[in-house]
Amino acid sequence: MTATVPGTPHRAWDFEAVSITGQSVPLSTYQGKVALIVNTASECGLTPQYKGLQALQERFADQGFVVLGFPCNQFGSQEPGSNEQIAQFCETSFGVSFPMFARIDVNGDSAHPLFKWLKSEQPGMLGIEAIKWNFSKFLVGREGQVIERYAPTTSPESLIADIERAVVA
């Protein structure tokens, strides 16, 4: 865990994001829940993970769990649509009912502050912070702390035990 600079966010719930429909959402809305924060894409080989993410949402929602989807077009231009198109695709193709946010960058100078923070809290392999591809996942506890970071190829189904531990903690 990195040292916290006074005045800088130190929990996921300290950030704001824009919903896929254009409203500013303080992530403190989700305080007290366990969240799986995922950068997503509609035209990726991993896009079928939406089905597994929705299944996690349905299975654990009543235990205070939520999936938060953040579309990103930084990897192979696999999320080229407008926010409206992305929302429609997710709903019609996978029945996504979990909160989706406006398309963002997750790497580089223009990366969303939430993702800059997530990466600094839980670097990937060999301490590399950069997100490698679509469907990277961060499990966040009820207090807004990062519990774990998962690779894009880690299936949503394989997270069940970790989520079960987090929701009872």
Domain with residue 109: its CATH number is 3.40.30.10
Instruction: Output the pLDDT for position 129.
Output: 77
Confidence of residue 169 (pLDDT cuts 50, 70, 90): confident
| pLDDT digit string, tens, across residues 28-61 | 999 999 999 999 999 999 999 999 999 999 999 9
Instruction: Output the pLDDT for position 9.
Output: 61
Out of 27, 35, 38, 44, the active site residue is 44
Domain assignment present for 5: no
Domain assignment present for 3: no
Q: Is the pLDDT of residue 2 over 70?
A: no
Confidence of residue 125 (pLDDT cuts 50, 70, 90): low
Instruction: Output the pLDDT for position 4.
Output: 43
Strands (E), the chain: 16-18, 24-26, 34-40, 65-71, 137-140, 146-150
Question: In total, how many domains does the chain have?
Answer: 1
Tell me the CA distances in angstroms from 115 to 12, 55, 89, 125, one per residue in order. 9, 24, 24, 16
Instruction: Output the pLDDT for position 155.
Output: 97
In the predicted model, what is the mean pLDDT of the chain?
Answer: 91
Domain assignment present for 4: no
Domain assignment present for 7: no
Strands 65-71 and 137-140: unpaired
- Of all residues in the chain, the percent with pLDDT exceeding 70 is 92
Provide the residue range defining the domain that includes 61.
Answer: 12-168
Domain assignment present for 1: no
Q: Is the pLDDT of residue 7 over 60?
A: no
Is 44 a residue of the active site? yes
